[in-house]
Amino acid sequence: MKFANSVKVRSEKFGSVVFETLRERVFVSNTTGADVLKLIEDGKTKEEIIADLSAKYDGNESTIKNDIAEYFACLEQNNLLA
């Protein structure tokens, strides 16, 4: 997976800031969202991201899977993914 060419991500203490330069939009993400964004930047697949975060975090695996799927849908809806 990768971001659209017009997307830049900056890490912050609270999570991440996402700049979409084509339409001049700015998004903020919490720390778990920032982890997902970082793994997308690393070129990981959706399945790899789910596996990585399920191992890193304490939570129900199906909840984590559904939350990440929702997050991806949100990224796609906002045209942030390539």
Q: Does 3 bind another protein (CB under 8 A)?
A: no
Return the sign of the alpha-carbon dihedral for residues 17, 75, 41, 34: positive
The contact mask relative to another protein for 13-42 (x = CB under 8 A, - = no) is -----x-----xxxxxxxxxx-xx------
Angle between helices 46-56 and 31-41 (to 10 degrees): 140
The pairing of strands 15-20 and 25-29 is antiparallel
Q: How many residues interact with another protein (rule CB under 8 A)? A: 28
Q: Does 67 bind another protein (CB under 8 A)?
A: yes
Minimum Å gap between C-beta 56 and another protein is 7
Pick the binder of another protein from 2, 74, 76, 82 (CB under 8 A).
Answer: 74
